[in-house]
Amino acid sequence: MAGLAAFSGYWSQGVTLHFFLHLFIGSIAGLSILIVVSRFKPGVVEYEYLFPFLGWLFAATPELFVVSDRHPTWTDIFLGHVSADEIMENSPMILIYLSIVVVALLAAYVKLRPKNQ
């Protein structure tokens, strides 16, 4: 529900690609952490679906607090927020690459997760 509300906010401003940029970057971080946790924790990882969501929430945090087109450079601590924005401005094709990485990480997690789920 929070993701849908955020998407509608991006949609109303005409910056939906920006939403997907931070969604993919956050999902990559969350899925990477989930894979590491699942390798070291025996059995089922509880709340596994929250990992990508929390990654996205962390990546998009500056959007919640900085209400301008340009974010301060310190917001790069949120998974490279400013750098990712600049990369996308110069190369919008980055979204295709990021979506491939998300699918690959998701497939890796599904393959590595315990079979009793």
Q: Please check whether residue 86 lies inside any domain of the structure.
A: yes
Q: Please check whether residue 117 lies inside any domain of the structure.
A: no
Q: Please check whether residue 63 lies inside any domain of the structure.
A: yes
Residue type, 106: L
Q: Please check whether residue 26 lies inside any domain of the structure.
A: yes
When divided into structural domains, the chain yields a total of 1
Answer yes or no: are the C-beta atoms of 22 and 60 closer than 8 Å: yes
pLDDT given for residue 100 in this prediction: 95
In DSSP notation, 40-62 reads HS-SPPTTTTHHHHHHHHHHTHH
Mean pLDDT, the chain, whole residue set: 79
Residue type, 83: S
Tokens of 107: 């497939």
Q: Please check whether residue 65 lies inside any domain of the structure.
A: yes
The boundaries of the domain holding residue 84 are 2-112
The reported pTM is 0.79
Best mean pLDDT range from 4-13, 15-24, 60-69, 96-105: 96-105
- Say if residue 27's pLDDT is above 60: yes
pLDDT given for residue 60 in this prediction: 80
pLDDT given for residue 15 in this prediction: 65
Q: How confident is the model at residue 32 (pLDDT cuts 50, 70, 90)?
A: very high
> Higher model confidence: residue 34 or residue 75?
34
pLDDT given for residue 82 in this prediction: 73
For the segment 51-72, the average pLDDT, to the nearest whole number, is 77
